[in-house]
Amino acid sequence: MTDASTTTVGLLDAARARLAGSPRERLGDWAANRRILGIGRAPRILPVTEAWHVGVLLIGDDRVFATGEVLRARHDAVRGYTAEAQRARSERAAAAFRGGFAEGEVLHLGWAEMDAAAVDRGESSGILSLVDGVPHVAWSTTGPPRPLAAYLDDMLSLR
């Protein structure tokens, strides 16, 4: 029988206990673009859930996600940009504001839900995997996966 403190689910539950009372950030997703009386609405990003942002992980009450893009919602305004990527990012921030995020609120977009129980069964799920029976997280695209327990300890010690 595996000790719960060494399973992916157990490590995430222990992290949740340590994070209790800490502020969370909301996750958003694009709203289906509806037409009202034949007129299209501006794109919006709606709040979906909230989670603690712990490095490359977003830890919710009973779910875990890999981070995507981190945005700060802001009111749409005419701005001059030298780069198209900067303009597109500003448009996403304005879409979040239109969707109900407060001015200046941090939100996560493009996140991916992972299955911690599947990892404990030996399957990979997103950036989580088992390496020699030990839960690991791929915290960098270029580096090797790191043991999840050590990663969480390091990230939570910074709080």
Helix (H) or strand (E) segment spanning residue 15: helix 8-19
Q: How confident is the model at residue 1 (pLDDT cuts 50, 70, 90)?
A: very low
User: What pLDDT shows up at residue 79?
Assistant: 66
The yes-or-no verdict on residue 36 having pLDDT over 90 is no
User: Per-residue pLDDT for 113 more than 70?
Assistant: yes
Q: Is 58 exposed, middle or buried (0-12, 13-18, 19+ CB in 10 A)?
A: buried
CA distance 43 to 146: 38
In the structure, what pLDDT confidence band is assigned to residue 72 with cuts at 50, 70 and 90?
Answer: very high
